[in-house]
Chains A and B, each alone.
Chain A
Amino acid sequence: MGRVHDHEAEMRSGSPEADAREQGALSVRGVSKRFGAVTAVDEVSLELPAGVFFSLLGPSGCGKTTLLRMIAGLEQPDGGSILVDGQDITSQPPERRPFNMVFQRYALFPHLNVFDNVAFGLTTERSSRPPKGEVTRRVADMLRLVGLEGLEQRMPTQLSGGQAQRVSVARALIRQPRALLLDEPMAALDRNVRHQVREELLRIHAETGTTFLMVTHDQDEALSISQLVGLMNEGKLEQVADPETMYHRPATLFAARFVGAGCFVSGRVVGRTDGAPEVDVQGIRFAAADAGVAGGEEAQVLLRPQDLTLVDPGSGRVQGSVETCTFFGAYYAITVRTPIALLRLHEPRAAHPGASVGVDWPATAGIAYPTSGGTAEPAAEDNVLGGE
C-alpha cells in the first residue's frame, strides 16, 4: 500500500512541515468522560505513533467525538491523561494545545473572508504574531496546498461544501499542528464530492506528514483512508488495528458486525483440529478461525460474501436455493436460502432465483466468536435465520 510511506514527501526535508514529521505521537491513558449518568468515554487508552493517519470508527453515540474533543481540549476528561510527545497536556486549555481541528460543519467564521479565516490562527498569539508579509505568504501556501488559490476574498457563504471543508483544513493546518483532528469531515458532503475529498486528505497527509486523527461513523471511509483504525463501542475501544486486519480478523463480535458485510451462522464448538475450533451448525461441521471461543460453547461464525462460492447442487458444504440476484457492476450479489442461514455471496456470474445450488467456502474462512461477547443487536436478515 503506497499510502503508508510517501517517499517523495519525505525527501522535502528543510521545509517547516518537516519538523512536524517526528512530532505528534499521541498517548491517551485511561481517559474517561461522564455526562450525568451516561459514561460517554470509559477508560480509553490509545497509543498513536507520530505521522500516522488514524481513524476513530464507531456508531453514533459511541463516544468517539467526545474523545476527539477531549484531545482537542474542548472537553475536560473526568479521569486519565493525554500526552503528546511525552508531554502531559491534560490540563492545558485548547488554545495552548499543539492540535488543530476540522469541525464537522466546518465552523468557518461567517464575518471573515477566506483569507482572514485561514490567517486567524497566525494572529491569535500576540507575542509570536508573524509580520504581515509572512502571513500573506503562509496563507497563500495553505490555499495552494488545499487547491483554493484565488478565493482569498470570498465570504464563507459563497463557498460550496467541498470548498468550505478545504478552507477549514487550511485554517487548521496553518498553525502547523502536531496533530490534525478531523470530526466527521465528510459527513456534510455530497457523496460524489466525498471521494475527491478523501483523496485530497490523503495527499495533504502525505505532503505535511502531520498526524491525522479522524472521527467517522463510515467504515468505508475509515478503512480506505487510514493506516490505523480504532473501533469504538459504548465508550470503549473494541479493537485497534490496520484496516486489513480490522476487515479480515475483527477481534470481537461487535467488530465483526460493524465492519464489512457478512452473514453470521450460529452453532456449537465441538472440537479442535490443529488448534482451530471445529464448529457444528445443524450437523454441518467445519473449521473456523478462533476469536476466543471455548469447546462446547455456543458460537457465531462470520462468513464474508467474497469467501463464499456457488457450486453445483450436491457438492459444497451446504445446500440451498437462490433467492435473489442483484447486479452491482463488478459482481452479482446473490442471496441463497440454506438450512443454516440466508447466505450472502458475491459471484462474477448471475444465478437464477429458485435454482438449487451448493455453497462452499475454504477451510477456516469463517471466524468463530463466542455468542456472549456481542452486545450489538443482530442486524436483521444478515444474521442467523436457522439455529434455535
Chain B
Amino acid sequence: MAARVRRNWLGLTCVALLVFLYAPLVIAVVYAFNDSRRLTWPPTGFSLKWFNEIFSDDLFSKALTTSVIAATLTAVVAGIIGTAAAIVFTRRRSRTARALEGFGLLPVMLPPLFIAIGLVATMNVANISPAMWTIVVGHTLVAIPFVLVVIVARLRTFDVELESAARDLGAGPRQVLLRITLPIVAPAVLGAMLLAFAISFDEVLITNFTSGTQSTVPLYVLGRLRRFIDPGANAVATILLLVPWIALAIGALFLRRSGGSRAVGESA
C-alpha cells in the first residue's frame, strides 16, 4: 500500500512538471487558432486569420527572410569553424590545445548581455555599422560552443586507427581528412549545424544590439508585443515552434540517406 501511495505521488509530481513545462506552449498554440482578439477562456472558435494577418504583414516577411539567411549563414560559419577547431582540439594533446578548447567553450558561461555589449563596443571602436554579417558574427559567437561540444564528443569516440589504416593504404593527410574523418563524423557535424541554426533563429538579446534597423523574427515579435498583446504573436510563436521540428526532420532524412552509419562499425 505504502509503495502504491508513493508511486502515486511520483506520478502526480511528473504530471505537475509536464503541465508546468508545456501549458504555456499549449496556450500559445491554442490561441493562435482562436478567432477572438481577446485572450479569454474558453477559446471562442477556430480560425486561421492570425496566420493570414502575419503572412500578409511585410515587416514579418522581411524579418523571416533575415532570420532564415542569418541562421543559415550562422550554421555554415559555426559548422566550419567548429569542425576545424574540434579536429585540432582532439588531435593535438598539447597544453595550448587544451587551453584553447577551454576558451572555445567559455562563451556558454558568459552572460549574452556581456557579449552583446562587447560587440557593440567593438563595432563603435572599429566604426562598423550594423549589417547582416554583424548579426551572423554575434550568432556564431553564441553557437560555436554548442557546435564544439557536439563535434568534439563525436571525435573523441572516433577510432584513430581508421586514420592510421588510411595512411597505411597510401592516403596523405588531406585525403584522410576528406575521405575518412569528415564523412564518418558528417552526421555529427550536420547535427551541430542544425543546432546552430536553431540557436540563431531565436537569438534575441545579441541581435537586438547588432542588427541595427533590420528585424529578425524574435525582434518582430518583441516589437509587436510592446504595443499590444495580440493573437498574431501567438501565431508567430507557433511558427517558431515549428522551425526546429522542420530542421530536425530534414536532418533525420539526410541521416537516413547517408546510411545512418553513426558510430557503429568502427568499434566492431
Q: Which residues in A have some Cβ–Cβ distance to B below 8 Å?
A: 72-74, 93-95, 99-101, 103, 105-111, 120-121, 124-125, 155-157, 161, 164, 171-172, 175
In the complex, chain A residues whose CB is within 8 Å of the CB of B169: 95, 100, 120-121, 124, 171-172, 175
Residue contact A110 to B170, C-beta cutoff 8 Å: no
The distance from the CB of B186 to the nearest CB of chain A, in whole angstroms, is 8
Of B43-51, B87-95, B245-253, B259-267, the one touching chain A: B259-267
Output the nearest chain B residue to A104 by Cβ-Cβ distance: B161
In the complex, chain A residues whose CB is within 8 Å of the CB of B267: 105
Contact of A94 (CB < 8 Å), options: B168, B175, B183, B184: B168
Contacts A100-B169, A110-B184, A175-B170 given; indicate if A94 touches B164 (C-beta within 8 A). yes
Contact of B259 (CB < 8 Å), options: A99, A105, A111: A111
Residue contact A157 to B175, C-beta cutoff 8 Å: no
Residue contact A95 to B264, C-beta cutoff 8 Å: no
20 residue pairs bridging A and B, Cβ less than 8 Å apart: A74-B164, A93-B167, A95-B167, A95-B172, A99-B168, A100-B168, A101-B164, A105-B268, A107-B161, A109-B162, A109-B180, A109-B184, A110-B264, A111-B183, A111-B261, A121-B169, A124-B169, A124-B172, A155-B265, A171-B169
Output the nearest chain A residue to B164 by Cβ-Cβ distance: A74
Q: Check if B14 is an interface residue, CB within 8 A of chain A.
A: no
Residue contact B264 to A157, C-beta cutoff 8 Å: yes
Residue contact A157 to B268, C-beta cutoff 8 Å: yes
Q: Known pairs A111-B259, A155-B265. 18 more at Cβ < 8 A?
A: A73-B167, A73-B168, A93-B167, A94-B164, A94-B167, A95-B167, A95-B172, A101-B168, A105-B268, A106-B268, A109-B166, A111-B183, A111-B261, A120-B166, A124-B166, A125-B170, A156-B268, A161-B268
The distance from the CB of A215 to the nearest CB of chain B, in whole angstroms, is 14
Interface string of B227-268 (1 = CB under 8 A from A): 000000000000000000000000000000001010011111
Rank and list the top 7 A-B pairs by shortest CB-CB distance, nearest first.
A110-B265, A124-B170, A121-B169, A107-B165, A157-B265, A107-B161, A94-B167
How far is B172's CA from A94's CA once the two chains are assembled, in angstroms?
9
Residue contact A95 to B268, C-beta cutoff 8 Å: no
Contacts A155-B265, A157-B268 given; indicate if A109 touches B167 (C-beta within 8 A). no
Contact of A121 (CB < 8 Å), options: B170, B183, B259: B170
Contact of A110 (CB < 8 Å), options: B171, B172, B266: B266
The distance from the CB of A359 to the nearest CB of chain B, in whole angstroms, is 50
The distance from the CB of A163 to the nearest CB of chain B, in whole angstroms, is 11
How far is B170's CA from A93's CA once the two chains are assembled, in angstroms?
9
Question: Which B residues, 146 to 177, have Cβ-Cβ distances below 8 Å to chain A?
Answer: 159, 161-162, 164-172, 175
Output the nearest chain A residue to B180 by Cβ-Cβ distance: A109
How far is B41's CA from A136's CA once the two chains are assembled, in angstroms?
71
The distance from the CB of B162 to the nearest CB of chain A, in whole angstroms, is 5
Contact of B165 (CB < 8 Å), options: A93, A101, A157, A164: A101
How far is B268's CA from A164's CA once the two chains are assembled, in angstroms?
9
How far is B261's CA from A73's CA once the two chains are assembled, in angstroms?
29
Contacts A105-B161, A107-B159, A111-B183 given; indicate if A74 touches B264 (C-beta within 8 A). no
Residue contact B161 to A156, C-beta cutoff 8 Å: no
How far is B172's CA from A30's CA once the two chains are assembled, in angstroms?
28
Residue contact B261 to A157, C-beta cutoff 8 Å: yes
Output the nearest chain A residue to B266 by Cβ-Cβ distance: A110
Output the nearest chain B residue to A124 by Cβ-Cβ distance: B170
The distance from the CB of A23 to the nearest CB of chain B, in whole angstroms, is 17
In the complex, chain B residues whose CB is within 8 Å of the CB of A124: 166, 169-172, 175
The distance from the CB of A91 to the nearest CB of chain B, in whole angstroms, is 15
In the complex, chain B residues whose CB is within 8 Å of the CB of A164: 268
Residue contact A110 to B261, C-beta cutoff 8 Å: yes
How far is B85's CA from A230's CA once the two chains are assembled, in angstroms?
44
How far is B174's CA from A93's CA once the two chains are assembled, in angstroms?
14
Most chain A beta-carbon contacts within 10 A, residue among B175, B261, B265: B265
The distance from the CB of B166 to the nearest CB of chain A, in whole angstroms, is 7
The distance from the CB of A275 to the nearest CB of chain B, in whole angstroms, is 50
How far is B162's CA from A120's CA once the two chains are assembled, in angstroms?
12
